[in-house]
Amino acid sequence: MTQSSPSTGALARNLMRAHDWAALGTIMPDDGHPYASLVLVAADYDASPILLLSDLAEHARNIAADNRVSLLFDGTRNLPSPLTGARVSVQGRAVRSDDGHLRRRFLARHGDATGYADFADFAFYQVIVERGHLVAGFGRIEWLDKGALLYLDSGIQDSGIDGMRSWEASAVSHMNQDHGDAIQHYAQNLLGAKEAGWIMTGCDPEGCDLRREGQVLRLEFSAPANDADSLRQQLVALARAAHG
């Protein structure tokens, strides 16, 4: 496995966080064949994927027998030559979880899933990441171990990265309720969106996620948001940039 640079890991994480769906690969227990399916996905603060799956689905039955999975995050859409675009395949193990934090992160990004998330046959999963394979165009191909692929910065305050649980949700709610105009400026003036109506669905140390109906956008920070104050500083700086 080759040694990767921090910028390569950041590129891979950006792909993981910027997409609200992925191709899921699981293993069929009867004959060992790989099985590919389409799933909705969200990301935890360190970029670990979060899934909501039905026990009735083929991929969930496969995971119950062998929880090794692969997720393909595809950044090549709408490119005239897709093979020049970036994509990352993330390998790990899908583990069922009753963690309310993972539920909140997922449903904040996929509001429509609220209608069925509590059905008896649905469960949330966290993918325990082991490694990833990044293809960032011709000639730029790297294997990334867990330490390079995930955001594991020890500089996060308040008991490590999990400390974000105490303030991230309220910060996002505050932005949506009191600074909706700033969110529109982020989307339109910094990220090139044409339409209004964007909301913020979540933040992590490296950026924020925006959504408008079926569209998602990723807003990257210039420096890590290690605590609530540094998040505010990043959002204020981006708001100023969006105003020109």
pLDDT of 113 over the 50 cut: yes
Residue 78: pLDDT above 90?
A: no
- The answer, yes or no, to whether residue 158 has pLDDT greater than 70, is no
Class of residue 190 by CB neighbours under 10 A (exposed 0-12, middle 13-18, buried 19+): middle
**pLDDT tens digits along 178-197:** 999 999 999 999 999 999 99
Amino acid identity, position 46: D
Q: In the CATH scheme, what architecture does the domain 161-242 have?
A: Alpha-Beta Barrel (3.20)
Output the pLDDT for position 53.
Answer: 98
CA distance 54 to 100: 18
- For 224-239, what is each residue's pLDDT tens digit? 998 899 999 999 999 9
pTM of the shown model: 0.92
Look at residue 223 in the predicted model and tell me its pLDDT.
Answer: 92
- Average confidence (pLDDT) over 33-38: 98
Is it the case that residue 6 has pLDDT exceeding 60?
A: no
pLDDT at 66 over 50: yes
**Does pLDDT of 155 surpass 60?**
no
Q: For residues 86 and 157, which has the higher predicted lDDT (pLDDT)?
A: 86
pLDDT of residue 5: 47
- 6-149: CATH architecture: Roll (2.30)
Could you tell me the residue ranges of all domains in the chain? 6-149, 161-242
